[in-house]
Amino acid sequence: MRHLVFVLIFSVTVISHTSAQPSQQQTPRFTPAAEITFTFTRQTGSASNQYAVWIENAQGQLIKTLYATRWTAAGGYRSRPASIPVWVRQSGLAGMTSSQVDAVSGATPRTGAVTYTWDGTDSRGALVPSGDYTLVLEGTLRWENQVLCRALFRLGQLTSGQNAASPQVHIEYTGDSTAERSMIADVRVRVLR
């Protein structure tokens, strides 16, 4: 009986002590650094509705992918090379593991406003230094018809009392069709620190 009481007391003490300790596996939370918001309108038919959002440094190197549509990221780019080709090339998608692809991709959203937020970290989760960055949104509107949106901004530019800055978004279309240009509209970027 004494042995059973000792085991019970010991077990309760260990469990209490363990649950009181912070998890070593918790990812640090960082304040948002920048965000992009736009209106996404799903297109009917094939060869459309693909897009990716990412951050580049001043040298044009991909720092972190915030989102890519799962169809392209999971291998659709092989059968349709015109599907978000800039991101596919920049991201090194062909060399990614399936868990890396899962970490950056998701289902194509429904029609409506979407927002993606960057926490100021790179793809490994390390904080990046203050400096010049570009938030990029690439979309495949239909077959070879593309849109590429870029907003250059300076991380760490906000002065005391400033809540956000709104850099200019440069939009470039390629391809002959204008019918699907409504797929990505009202693109806005805010820098939050």
pLDDT digits (tens, 9 = 90+) for 129-139: 999 999 999 99
Domain that includes residue 123, residue range:
31-191
Write out pLDDT tens, residues 142-165: 999 999 999 999 998 887 777 789
Q: Which two tokens stand for residue 147?
A: 């849109």
Evaluate if residue 5 carries a pLDDT over 80: no
Residue 20 lies in a domain: no
Strand boundaries in 58-130, DSSP class E: 62-69, 105-106, 112-118
Number of domains, the chain: 1
Does 4 reside within a domain? no
Tell me if 70 is assigned to some domain. Answer: yes
Alpha helices, H only, 21-60: none
pLDDT at 29: 65
Task: Record the tokens describing residue 70, joined without a space.
Answer: 């799962």
* Burial 129-157, CB ≥16 within 10 A → b, else e: eeeebbbbbbbbbbbebbbbbbbebebee
| Residue 9 predicted with pLDDT over 90 | no
The CATH number given to whatever domain includes residue 119 is 2.60.40.4070
Please state, in angstroms and rounded to a whole number, the distance separating the CA atoms of residues 70 and 28: 26
Residue 171 falls inside a structural domain: yes
Q: Which of 83, 78, 71, 180 is nearest to 138 (CA)?
A: 83
- Whether 14 shows a pLDDT value over 90: the answer reads no
The verdict on residue 101 lying in a domain is yes
The pLDDT value given to residue 159:
73
Instruction: Assess if residue 15 is contained within a domain.
Output: no
- E-only strand ranges, the chain: 34-40, 50-57, 62-69, 105-106, 112-118, 131-142, 145-155, 170-174, 184-191
Tens digit of pLDDT for each residue in 57-113?
Answer: 999 999 999 999 999 999 999 999 999 999 999 999 999 999 999 999 999 999 999
Task: Please name the residues in contact with 55: beta carbons below 8 A apart, sequence gap of 6 or more.
Answer: 34, 62, 63, 64, 66, 118, 133, 134, 135, 136
Confidence class for position 30, pLDDT limits 50, 70, 90: confident
Mean pLDDT, all residues of the chain = 87
Does residue 19 lie within any of the structural domains?
Answer: no
| Per-residue pLDDT at 35 exceeds 60 | yes
pLDDT digits (tens, 9 = 90+) for 100-131: 999 999 999 999 999 999 999 999 999 999 99
Domain membership of residue 55 (yes or no) is yes
- From CA 71, how far away is CA 55, in angstroms rounded? 21
Structure tokens given for 160: 């005391």
Q: What is the distance between the alpha carbons of residues 71 and 46, in angstroms, rounded to a whole number?
A: 12
Q: Quote the pLDDT of residue 100.
A: 95
Q: Are 136 and 54 in contact (CB under 8 A)?
A: yes
